[in-house]
Amino acid sequence: MRLLAAAVTTLALSFGAQAVMAAPIEIKFSHVVAENTPKGQMALKFRDLVKERLGDDKVVVEVFPNSQLFGDNKVLEAMLLGDVQMAAPALSKFQKYTDQLQVFDLPFLFKDMAAVERFQQGPEGQKLLDSLRKKGLVGLGYLHNGMKQLSASEPMRVPADASGKKFRIMTSDVLQAQFEAVDAVPLKKPFSEVFTLLQTKAIDGQENTWSNIYSKKFFEVQPYITESNHGVLDYLVVTSTEFWMSLDESVQTELKKALDEAIAYGNDIAGKKTEEDKQLIIESKRSEVVTLSDAERQQWVEAMKPVWKQFEDAIGADLIKAAEMSNQ
Ligand code: SIN
């Protein structure tokens, strides 16, 4: 009788184990932008590649765009709690977890996206992927969006134009210092609130890429966009160390491969969208694009560059130097 009970228990346990093993790994990928953006497209590509290569019975990726699941201010906490497995917040949104990624926020540091790419793929940029480990997060790769432009209710030609104006910024003290350097009033607000803040004139302006300004219709409520290219808005694709380490090595390898391909795809779109979305905004005639003369641009550089020194200790002088060298 005892033997029979033991056999039944063993059988039940092994069925149970099989049922557990058979359950697919679920990856919720949360982001805040529209689907027709570099990040939106990258996330969908990743989902499709994982489905094609690993199959729904092994791994299921579900993408939640437009802050549907979490805004960027909550997503990393949710990730550490296991409520979401992947996200790609803007590099400006990691300040709570590391000071080093703030290097990307320094104004007028990178001359173009090629310099950003060189820095990210170089030794210092690759080391930064691990800068969140102590906080329980793993950086899996960078994704481009593009250079930021300055939109406002009035034309921004020289720093004095920004004086006293309210600008929405991402949650970064460097970005706060950047606007304070031109006597503007920076306000840290979630991306999902920007359109309404602009529309109701609760704020005067904001900084963002052409694809975000276009896809979130900021250009419809901002009559002027200065083509300032004063900083970069890129992303870090992250997961939690706990989730990543729970995966078999073979699954990790396949996911990383799919992600690298999805990122390459997203980067290609980022390059194209920068031009296309700028053009669409110009054609809409809803917003005038302000082009700066060299002398005007230089005034912004001189006003904002002291921010580098202000954050040198927190970020690291060597890291700033390495980023600057990527311009050559
Ligand atoms: C994003 O591109 O993910 C959002 C950027 C922002 O918050 O301005």
Residues 175 and 232 sit within 8 Å (Cβ to Cβ) = no
Residue 37 Cβ contacting ligand 1 at under 6 Å: no
Residue 267 Cβ contacting ligand 1 at under 6 Å: no
Q: Rounded to whole angstroms, how far apart are CA atoms 153 and 203? A: 9
pLDDT computed for residue 21 by the predictor: 60
Spacing, Cα 185 to ligand 1 middle (Å): 19
Instruction: For residue 205, give the nearest of 150, 161, 159 by alpha carbon.
Output: 150
> In terms of residue numbers, what domain contains 230?
2-325
Q: Rounded to whole angstroms, how far apart are CA atoms 228 and 306? A: 18
Phi, psi of 189 (to 5 degrees): -140, 150
pLDDT computed for residue 45 by the predictor: 98
Contacts of 314 (CB under 8 A, 6+ apart): 99, 102
What is the band of 19 on the pLDDT scale with cuts at 50, 70, 90?
Answer: very low
pLDDT computed for residue 72 by the predictor: 84
Residues 206 and 185 sit within 8 Å (Cβ to Cβ) = no
pLDDT computed for residue 6 by the predictor: 47
What is the band of 43 on the pLDDT scale with cuts at 50, 70, 90?
Answer: very high
User: Which pair of structure tokens corresponds to residue 82?
Assistant: 């296991």
Residues 48 and 261 sit within 8 Å (Cβ to Cβ) = no
Domain of 132, CATH number, reads 3.40.190.170
Task: Supply the mean pLDDT for the chain.
Answer: 94
For 266-305, the pLDDT digits (tens) are 999 999 999 999 999 999 999 999 999 999 999 999 999 9
The one-letter amino acid at 23? A
User: Which pair of structure tokens corresponds to residue 280?
Assistant: 């669409």
Spacing, Cα 137 to ligand 1 middle (Å): 20
Residue 210 Cβ contacting ligand 1 at under 6 Å: no
Q: Spell out the SS3 assignment of 257-290.
A: HHHHHHHHHHHHHHHHHHHHHHHHHHHHCCCEEE
Residue 184 Cβ contacting ligand 1 at under 6 Å: no
pLDDT computed for residue 73 by the predictor: 82
Q: Rounded to whole angstroms, how far apart are CA atoms 269 and 289? A: 22
Number of domains composing the chain: 1
For 44-91, the pLDDT digits (tens) are 999 999 999 999 999 999 999 999 999 988 999 999 999 999 999 999
Residue 70 Cβ contacting ligand 1 at under 6 Å: no
Contacts of 153 (CB under 8 A, 6+ apart): 165, 201, 204, 205, 222, 223, 224
Average pLDDT of 297-317? 98
Residue 229 Cβ contacting ligand 1 at under 6 Å: no
Report the DSSP pairing between strands 149-152 and 166-169: unpaired
Ligand 1, pocket-test mutation among 67, 68, 69, 72, most atoms within 8 A of CB: 72
Ligand 1, pocket-test mutation among 178, 216, 233, most atoms within 8 A of CB: 233
Question: Comparing 45 with 13, which gets the higher pLDDT?
Answer: 45
Residue 149 Cβ contacting ligand 1 at under 6 Å: no
For 184-237, the pLDDT digits (tens) are 999 999 999 999 999 999 999 999 999 999 999 999 999 999 999 999 999 999
For 108-163, the pLDDT digits (tens) are 999 999 999 999 999 999 999 999 999 999 999 999 999 999 999 999 999 999 99
Phi, psi of 235 (to 5 degrees): -125, 160
For the entire predicted model, the pTM comes to 0.92
Residue 212 Cβ contacting ligand 1 at under 6 Å: yes
Instruction: For residue 207, give the nearest of 220, 222, 199 by alpha carbon.
Output: 222
Beta carbons within 10 angstroms of residue 26's beta carbon = 10
